[in-house]
Structure 1
Amino acid sequence: MLPDNYYIADQFSLLSKLMDIHGENSFKSKSYSIAAYNIERLPVQLSEVPDEKLYTLKGIGDSVGKKVQEILEGGHLHALEEYVQKTPTGVMEMLSIKGLGPKKIATIWKEMEIESLGELLYACHENRLARFKGFGEKTQKNIEESITFYQKSQGSHLYAQVEVYAQESDKLFRKAFPRHEFSFTGAFRRQLEVIDFIEWVTTVPVKELQVFFEKNNYKEEEAGATNCSYRGPENLLLKFYCRPENEFHLSLFETSCSESFLTAWNELPGWKATPVYNSEDAIFASVKINPIPSFRREKPAIIDRA
């Protein structure tokens, strides 16, 4: 499953912002921002473009082209990962706050020495932001309101922030339950920019997961007959859809689509959600549609083009 243009563009956009926050060469960071803009608007998926034609596309120069190939080959951008590692989590989180661009975040971090949203909100309460250049009382008030709004949906993270943790958790679960199936699903599998929780479809029964997570000091948030969720020391919510083996692939499909995509799919002539499917490819084949990767299952229109 290769990354689509939106995912690739997001990688360049985040790289550009983090470079600006760290005070790197503005010409180079702007070139990555422009690349993100151009990639989002390409009429063809970069994953389908031959290497020799990649550099002929608008906005794809030598530096950008090499990084595109890096993402397509490994799903990661090393340069971005380096910036993520040396950026405090709280500073990364500031990118989610409306009204806070890279330059303002750089001032907050480097000059105000603030590294978390909690500290930033407290600084707003004390009227400290308004003393700095580029931060008037109106801006300070808007930032305060944006942080308050954001905190109502705590638990949200950028995809890049949770990717390593998710992969390591997946390895842990597979090692603990070697005879069972696990597959990422939901927002993480769809590679959405913001992840509220990490989800899996698994054949492990709820009771067996309960024993495992209790033993490993995870906090139980939900435990129903077929679904359960837990929160670990990192405070990330992990959700599991526990299904028998004959329902595994259908459940995986249904939980890795947007709501509008799934609604349109269920209305397709000839579609039956009851038969047993041994793969997602078999699900698409049942209605004579080419397989659509989970990261493209957003808008119903993609079904017509498949």
Structure 2
Amino acid sequence: MTNPDIARHFNELAKLMELHKDNPFKIRSYSNAYNKLRKNDQELAGMSEEELQGIDGIGKAIAAKIHELATTGKMETLEKWRAQTPEGIREMLSIRGFGPKKVKAVWDGLGVTSVGQLLYAINENRLVELKGFGAKTQETLKEKLEFHQRSQGQFLYRALDQAAEALLSQLRAAYPEEVFARTGALRRACPTLTHLALLTTLAPAASPTIPGIEEVKTTDDKTSATVDGFPLVIHHCSAANFGSRQFRHTGSEEFLKAFVERHPGIDFAGLATEEDVFAKAGLPYIEPELRESDWALELAANDQLPELITQEDIRGVVHSHSTWSDGIHSVRQMAEAARDKGYDYLVMSDHSKTAVYANGLSIERVKEQWAEIDALNEEMAPFRIFKSIESDILTDGSLDYPEEILAGFDLVIASIHSQLNMDEEKATERLLTAIANPYTTILGHPTGRLLLSRKGYPINYQRVIDSCAEHGVVIELNANPYRLDLDWSWIPYALEKGVKISINPDAHSMGGMDDIKYGVAAARKGGLTKNGCWNTDLIV
């Protein structure tokens, strides 16, 4: 064990003890030990306890812990504090500039226990509610957390989508004679990714001249690099072979294997466009998002490919929050933004009363908001704001208001936000009870998952979807890039059962409405059509 390794153990110990507000004298002692040990040039692991005590500032207790680490690989005191601290909280403590006091504040104040949960809370503007956290601090912390995530090897689709858009714009301006396009899992719009992938006619030798990319390594047909901290792979090919290479790099391994098995002995090399590839196979063009498995090939062979939904098909913004609960902008601001973005209506669905962490609406405040919406609807017609609520599904499956209040909403989105540690049977029954409630219009984010942060609670998807079909309940595809829940893989079953999908941004700000883009991308992977989507039409 090296000196820096030993020192890091003491640094972690000091932070954990400060987090739990333990003895400040001991905290200072361990922190000082960290600073001394990491700079010491003696081989600490090979020294006896007596020799260690001879180092300036190292007393008997510190020496014993160093010796324990060197001989056993562990420190009992540190293990004790680790056991009392969620793994995600310990991860937060490792982020530079995010110290124990602030970590403790978000742990206690928001109940978050992972980096992903904290990023989601920031996305909902909840951090500014805590003492000592303003808008600027929130934004700075968001940048730190996202930088930390970039080093973990998995990224949300939105992050790489935005990076790809910026890079492609730059490349096309710098090399106007060349062709650049997305490829791989990025082109298939997978919810989480490991890297950016592009295909280009630019020669590999030119890769080192691309501005903004770093750590460039080039072979005959591939460049590996980083851009803005994200891993980047650029595949190179000729214009004459572009279609063949794009087809090869876009499809998943399962899709490509199934394609080859269906068309043995046919050479698909040397084709300029993907349309040429599909034409040679005697198939209609299959959209990139559908190229995950042989499912789409079967549909194509039977001429049953769906006409996939587009962002332009969405008529209204369903599931939004305002300053009445935990949103950043007022109802008026949200409505005007939705109208100005070209939508016909806004469904205002602030949090219900049980969601005290999100300033959920009491019955009195619900009625006050209704009055505001009535006035705005008169002023803004024909644009319309629908009175809604994101009602917590309580532990017994009931909704959060008495019937006379639920009856006053134009529609109700029912979601689980608490008591998430459930087994499949309990979670499923809780959802089924809520679905059967006659006031439930939409089932919100069915599994409660947060991508790269929290697995959803386990549910029996078939029973839930079947129940929605029975009771005429719409299922939300929550378009927030941290959720994308319902997962796209269950959309075909929902459509088979006649259940509509509503692509909802769960917008906590005017800009949050733009997340509809990511919901549409996920929906396309599941074969969703305009007719299968609830908010592609006016609602009543």
TM-score, normalising length from structure 1?
0.50
Indicate the residue corresponding to 2:225 in structure 1.
230
Cα deviation for residue 154 of structure 1 reads 1.7
Distance 1:245 1:134, change over 3 A: closer
Indicate the residue corresponding to 2:160 in structure 1.
162
- Picking from 87, 95, 120, the partner of 1:118 is 95
Cα distance in structure 2, aligned partners of 1:241 and 1:292: 21
Distance 1:275 1:301, change over 3 A: same
Indicate the residue corresponding to 1:172 in structure 2.
170
The letter of the residue matching 2:175 is F
Structure 2 contact 92–103 (Cα < 8 Å) conserved: no
Cα deviation for residue 164 of structure 1 reads 2.6
| SS at structure 2 position matched to 1:180 | coil
The letter of the residue matching 1:132 is D
Cα deviation for residue 269 of structure 1 reads 2.9
The letter of the residue matching 1:255 is H
Structure 1 contact 129–135 (Cα < 8 Å) conserved: no
| SS at structure 1 position matched to 2:224 | strand
1:132 aligns with 2:108: yes
Cα distance in structure 2, aligned partners of 1:195 and 1:130: 28
| SS at structure 1 position matched to 2:172 | helix
| SS at structure 1 position matched to 2:229 | coil
Q: What is the percent sequence identity of the aligned residues?
A: 21
Cα distance in structure 2, aligned partners of 1:117 and 1:153: 12
Distance 1:198 1:185, change over 3 A: same
Indicate the residue corresponding to 1:182 in structure 2.
180
Aligned length: 183
1:197-223 deviation per Cα after TM superposition (whole angstroms, max 9, x unaligned): 11111111111122x13xx35322421
RMSD over aligned Cα, in angstroms?
3.9
Distance 1:161 1:134, change over 3 A: closer
Cα distance in structure 2, aligned partners of 1:206 and 1:196: 22
Cα distance in structure 1, aligned partners of 2:103 and 2:165: 42
Cα distance in structure 2, aligned partners of 1:166 and 1:130: 32
Cα distance in structure 1, aligned partners of 2:293 and 2:173: 36
1:44-87 deviation per Cα after TM superposition (whole angstroms, max 9, x unaligned): xxxxxxxxxxxxxxxxxxxxxxxxxxxxxxxxxxxxxxxxxxxx
Indicate the residue corresponding to 2:249 in structure 1.
255
Indicate the residue corresponding to 1:265 in structure 2.
259
Cα distance in structure 1, aligned partners of 2:170 and 2:103: 46
Structure 1: gaps spanning 5 or more residues: 1-97, 101-107, 109-113
1:114-169 deviation per Cα after TM superposition (whole angstroms, max 9, x unaligned): 98972699759x99589838969xx79xx9xxx9xx97972422112232331121
| SS at structure 1 position matched to 2:262 | coil
Cα distance in structure 2, aligned partners of 1:158 and 1:130: 23
1:278 aligns with 2:255: no
Indicate the residue corresponding to 1:196 in structure 2.
194
Distance 1:258 1:117, change over 3 A: farther
Indicate the residue corresponding to 1:292 in structure 2.
286
Cα deviation for residue 285 of structure 1 reads 1.2
The letter of the residue matching 1:230 is A
Cα distance in structure 2, aligned partners of 1:291 and 1:131: 50
Cα deviation for residue 254 of structure 1 reads 0.7
Distance 1:289 1:123, change over 3 A: farther
1:239 aligns with 2:236: no
Cα distance in structure 2, aligned partners of 1:206 and 1:297: 27
| SS at structure 1 position matched to 2:240 | helix
Indicate the residue corresponding to 2:458 in structure 1.
none
Larger Rg: 2
- Picking from 203, 206, 209, the partner of 1:208 is 206
Indicate the residue corresponding to 2:215 in structure 1.
220
Structure 1 contact 271–287 (Cα < 8 Å) conserved: no
